[in-house]
Amino acid sequence: MKRNRWLPLLGISLLTLSLTPQISKAFDDNGSQSAQSIWRIGSFPVESFQGYTSAFGYRSSPTGGYSSEFHSGLDIASPVGGRIRAWWTGRVIEVSDNTACGTSVRVQSGSWVHVYCHMMGSVSRDSQGRYASDGESGLKVYEGQQIQAGQVIGRVGMTGRTTGPHLHWTLKYAGKLVDPALVLQAMYTAERQTGYISSQP
């Protein structure tokens, strides 16, 4: 079974913002291969996809009231325990469990940083260093660890500030936030253009 599981991407256009010149450069700089093919390497980050529950950008506060807040990523709903896969090959630069992001893993892939929030478990330390673990499966992800695109790095939980089980997925390029919906569209388009998936929904 192909790890990307592209069916969830068919509805992503509803969440998309316009592509700015700076973000376009980020897409072009993602590797020496053409933009039409490089995006096939990435992996959709949630295995048990249920829907997109909150887009990138300004939104009403999910915890109530009339205040508006900036949402720095894309929320992808999944049952508690759904496996989370690394979007891209890279190095784990931080694990954390003491912010609104809950138990989280931050990965560096060249100029890109991808962050996975509200995961099950907590952060601990042993002789090898700090790691995030979901506790039940025994899965551990260490700071400094090299991971591969599609590798399981945790499971969906409800840690941190959340109203339901989901993955909050944040992307940055050269320190600037990128709408993950744009990246998912680029990945889906690359799959269609190279014939790996059908052009029909």
The answer to whether residues 130 and 116 touch, using CB atoms and an 8 Å cutoff, is no
The answer to whether residues 15 and 55 touch, using CB atoms and an 8 Å cutoff, is yes
pLDDT, tens digit (0-9, with 9 covering 90-100), for 115-134: 999 999 999 999 999 999 99
In a domain, 24, yes or no: yes
Give the DSSP letter of residue 17. Answer: P
In a domain, 83, yes or no: yes
What is the amino acid identity at position 194?
T
Give me the pLDDT at residue 161, please: 87
How confident is the prediction for the chain on average, in pLDDT?
79
In a domain, 113, yes or no: yes
Higher pLDDT, 68 or 190: 190
In a domain, 143, yes or no: yes
Return the closest-CA partner of residue 9 out of 182, 196, 166, 171: 182
Cβ of 69: how many Cβ atoms within 10 Å? Answer: 12
Give me the pLDDT at residue 39, please: 78
In a domain, 68, yes or no: no
Six-digit token string for 168: 């909050």
Q: Residue 125 maps to which CATH number? A: 2.70.70.10
Among 64-68, 102-106, 178-182, 186-190, the range scoring the smallest mean pLDDT is 64-68
Q: What percent of the chain lies above the pLDDT cut of 90?
A: 51
Mean pLDDT of 172-199: 79
Query: Which of the four pLDDT bands, split at 50, 70 and 90, describes residue 167?
Result: very high
- Please give the backbone phi and psi of residue 76, each rounded to the nearest 5 degrees, phi first: -120, 115
In a domain, 45, yes or no: yes
- Please give the backbone phi and psi of residue 71, each rounded to the nearest 5 degrees, phi first: -100, 115
Long-range contacts, stretch 122-125, CB < 8 angstroms, 24+ apart:
122/97, 122/159, 123/95, 123/96, 123/97, 123/98
pLDDT, tens digit (0-9, with 9 covering 90-100), for 11-20: 444 333 344 4
Mean pLDDT of 139-151: 97
In a domain, 140, yes or no: yes
The residues that bridge with 92 in the sheet, in sequence order, are: 107
Question: Number of structural domains, the chain?
Answer: 1
In a domain, 200, yes or no: no
Mean pLDDT of 95-122: 95
* Residue 201 reports pLDDT greater than 80: no
* Residue 54 reports pLDDT greater than 60: yes
Enclosing domain of residue 99 = 7-61+73-193
